[in-house]
Amino acid sequence: MSAVVDGLAWAAIGLGVFVCFSGAFGLLRFPDFYSRLHAAGVTDTLGAGLVLLGLMLQAGWSLAAAKLALILLFAWVSGPTASHVLARAARHDGLEPWTGAEGRRR
Amino acid sequence: MRGLLSTVAALIVLWLVNSGHYTPLLLGLGAVSVLLVAFLAGRMAAVDGVWPDGPPLWRVPGYLVWLLGQIVAANLDVLRRIWRGPASLSPRLVELPLSMRSEWAQALYANSITLTPGTVTVDIGGGRLLVHALSEGAAAGLADGAMARRVQSLER
């Protein structure tokens, strides 16, 4: 494999690790259930996407790359489905979203 | 019939990509699996009364490329807010009109909203969507209707 592709692959994986870490950080830092869902979404979409893109570059044109693309496809379908179900359950349970005022006073 | 054929075609591709072994035994097992799953899907479609429908396949890549751009942009926005802290948030619940007619288009729209960070579909019904947005900008981006128009154009 050429050094350029190798470098791109590691750049994508490194960026992906940073994005996943940021998502986890936001999950802890954000104020309420609903806003934390958005932080988790960052890890699910761009974080997973960049790591898998890096792995696809490492794999080259092969069956392994096609399988990695399938993993990404399924993650991008099941992730939002789970997020939606969680948000809907919280709403049905009567959980009101945080709107800012209270959090700023603290 | 079109639903059954596309289900079988998608399952065959899925098996071939994931297997990687093209011996008679494994291809035979694949054929049995595909037929079994297609049979089960047919039973579920019989309960629903219809086969699940979808957009014309040749239009899907264009939408996916556009959606990918939206996802990256939305991710950068949420990433910035994560590092700035909760003071940069202005979360709100917004209602959106649901202008698509077909069920698959409504599902695609709701899932696209949830897939872009910063907006999550909370509830659907009565021709409306309830969406939780992380910021004023994210809510305004949806209200402007670009995504709804894109999904609607897949219907035609």
Tally the C-alpha atoms within 13 A of residue B121's C-alpha that lie toward its C-beta.
Answer: 25
Q: Are B115 and A79 inside 8 Å of each other by CB?
A: yes
Tokens of B18: 């994931």
Element (H, E) at B124: strand B119-125
What's the pLDDT tens digit per position in B26-83?
999 999 999 999 999 989 888 888 887 888 888 999 999 999 999 999 999 999 999 9
ipTM, 2 decimals?
Answer: 0.85
Q: Which residue type is seen at B65?
A: V
In contact, B85 and A29? CB cutoff 8 Å: yes
Find the chain A residues whose C-beta atoms sit closer than 8 A to any C-beta of B. Answer: 19, 22-23, 25-26, 29-32, 34-35, 37-39, 41-42, 45-46, 49, 63, 66-67, 70, 76-77, 79-81, 83-84, 87-88, 91, 97-100, 103-104
User: Does B93 touch chain A if contact means CB atoms closer than 8 Å?
Assistant: yes
User: Does B145 touch chain A if contact means CB atoms closer than 8 Å?
Assistant: no
What's the pLDDT tens digit per position in B76-132?
999 999 999 888 899 999 999 998 988 889 999 999 999 999 999 999 988 899 999
Predicted confidence band of residue A105 (pLDDT cuts 50, 70, 90): very low
Could you tell me if residue A105 is inside a domain? no
Q: Structurally, how many domains does chain A consist of?
A: 1
Whole domain around residue A62: which residue ranges?
3-96
Predicted confidence band of residue A101 (pLDDT cuts 50, 70, 90): low
Q: Are A29 and B85 inside 8 Å of each other by CB?
A: yes
**Averaged over A38-60, what is the pLDDT?**
93
Q: How confident is the model at residue A7, as a pLDDT?
A: 94
